[in-house]
């Protein structure tokens, strides 16, 4: 498991950045960096809730990840812990592939200073995904920046 870190400075208050990042419609926009054919979530952002991050898998079905919201402090911090994956539209919490990242975390921190919000993303990645994530997260955060600044 490799720890990856990304950050972006956004000229908008933390509340606006938070809403842009987590609201369904704008979530779909900024996460399009990860899947041109669409990315979305099912569930909610309440502590203890299970949430699924989904998108077309390229084989005519749905794929993605299953997580639990471990901690949430509105406009400041979100921590997710991975529980499994979605493969071919079905849950997988027991295969060797799923076990590789079960327990991995993805954390988002929001720090506002003078109307500028720094968003820091820290996540655990299996080695074979690290290169793709290193390429894609900066693109996704640039989209988030544009959306949040337009919304503020």
pLDDT in tens, 63-82: 899 999 999 999 999 999 99
Query: How long a stretch of residues is the chain?
Result: 152
Instruction: For residues 13-38, give the mean pLDDT.
Output: 93
Measure Cα distances from 21 to 60, 89, 100, 101, 148 in Å: 27, 25, 27, 23, 8
Q: Is the pLDDT of residue 48 over 80?
A: yes
Q: Which of 115, 110, 106 is CA-nearest to residue 4?
A: 106
Structure token digits, residue 130: 């690290």
Total-model pTM: 0.92
User: What percent of the chain is helix, strand and coil (3-state, nearest 5)?
Assistant: 30, 45, 25
| Confidence tier at 3 by pLDDT (50, 70, 90) | very high
Query: For the purposes of burial, counting CB atoms within 10 Å of the CB of 37, is it exposed (0-12), middle (13-18) or buried (19 or more)?
Result: exposed
**Look-up: residue for tokens 């972006």?**
8
Residue 59 banded pLDDT, cuts 50, 70, 90: confident
Q: Sort strands 2-10 and 62-73 into parallel, antiparallel or unpaired.
A: unpaired
């Amino acid at each position: 498991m490799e720890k990856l870190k990304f950050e972006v400075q956004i000229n908008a208050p933390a509340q606006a950045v938070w809403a842009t990042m987590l609201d369904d419609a704008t979530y779909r926009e900024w996460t399009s960096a990860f899947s041109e054919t669409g990315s979305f979530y099912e569930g909610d952002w309440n502590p203890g809730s299970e949430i699924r991050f989904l998108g077309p898998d390229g084989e005519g079905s749905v794929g993605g990840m299953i997580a639990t919201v471990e901690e949430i402090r509105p406009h400041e911090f979100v921590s997710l812990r991975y529980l499994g994956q979605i493969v071919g539209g079905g849950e997988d919490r027991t295969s060797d592939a799923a076990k590789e990242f079960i327990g991995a975390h993805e954390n988002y921190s929001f720090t506002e200073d003078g109307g500028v919000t720094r968003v820091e993303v820290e996540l655990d990645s299996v080695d074979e995904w690290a290169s793709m994530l290193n390429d894609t997260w900066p693109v996704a955060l640039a989209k988030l920046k544009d959306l949040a600044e337009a919304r503020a």
